[in-house]
Amino acid sequence: MRLEGSCQCGAVKFRVESPHPYPYQRCYCSICRKTQGGGGYAINLGADNATLRVTGRQHVTVYHARLKDPGDARAHRSPAERHFCGICGSALWLYDDRWPKLVHPFASAIDTDLPAAPESTHIMLAFKAPWVAVEAGPKDRRHQRYPEESIAEWHARLGLAEGSVMEQATEAEERILCRLEDIPEGGAKGFPGPPGSFVGLFAVRKDGRVHVYVNSCPHIGLPLEPLPDRFLDPRKQVIICSAHGARFRIEDGVCVTGPCIGEALEAVPVRVVDGQVVVPASAGL
Ligand code: FES
């Protein structure tokens, strides 16, 4: 489905092809609420980044949210780019180069009539403002943080996805690492690299999300684990390199203590499809 969007003042207009245009997922996190969800939540759609066309791009401003999770000493910058109109402040779309084939237009910016979602998913409820009421239907799903189900998977489950060239190409270029259940919640698992690669990959599952990194420490490139699948500290709070003790945040791979402080593990885009953990076939090459 082609989506046409614009800011309130009209300085920025855009269009993009979306195989997943149903506005079903309401995010109640403080970033969404403050930057574009005056009613307490915001809705992102899924679209094909290669098809995004923008007029008035000179008026677009990009914001990286500041994130501070429990246990973090300091806030850090989100890698996600939130695009706004620099004149009127309308939120337009989100892009994250960890998933370069995707772009997420905000439903609030879309002028095309969107199809009504038959059911909704309410996410990041742990961060909901107390005054916000969750108006949920009988089939709606609720999650304290991120759900396992992606936007594409929701559309597929309900038979609402539109086939796209992007999806077909993506599937051909991807590799199934393992089943999601092979990685215990709060645990980690290592994998060999693709054919021709000298480095492996590893996955960590935390708070309902899967994070995958190239198994090469930014200090001097050694693999991190001393024993198979031993990537985390005993409390399972951080990733540790056994060579010289560097510690990395699970959420973004940034080194917080050790000889490579401030550098980051190479993150691998990952998605969970039908209970399978899927990464680009080239990850680790
Ligand atoms: S190789 Fe990882 S800390 Fe030195």
Taking the chain (285 residues) in consecutive chunks of 10 residues, what is each chunk's mean pLDDT? 95 93 93 88 92 94 84 80 96 90 94 94 93 93 89 86 50 79 93 87 91 95 95 96 96 94 92 82 85
- Number of structural domains (the chain) is 2
**Residue minimizing CA distance to atom 4 of ligand 1:** 244
Of 171, 198, 220, the residue that ends a domain is: 171
Residues 166 and 197 in one domain: no
Is 116 found in the same domain as 228? no
Examine residue 285 and state whether it is found in any structural domain, yes or no: no
| Domain membership flag for residue 80 | yes
The boundaries of the domain holding residue 64 are: 2-171
> Which atom, in ligand 1's list, is nearest to the CA of 222?
1
Tell whether 14 is covered by a domain: yes
Q: Looking at the structure, tell me whether residues 80 and 138 fall in a common domain.
A: yes
What does the block give as tokens for 178? 């393992």
pLDDT of residue 217: 96
Which ligand 1 atom sits closest to the C-alpha of 244? 3
Atom of ligand 1 nearest to the CA of 242: 2
- pTM confidence score: 0.58
Backbone angles phi, psi at 51, to 5 degrees: -100, 0
Assess whether the C-beta atom of 261 lies below 6 angstroms from ligand 1.
no
Does residue 86 line the site of ligand 1, with CB under 6 A? no
Give the domain-ending residue among 146, 171, 196. Answer: 171
Q: How high is the pLDDT of residue 193?
A: 87
Residue 42: give its domain's CATH number: 2.170.150.70
**Domain match, 88 and 142 both:** yes
128 and 92 in a common domain: yes
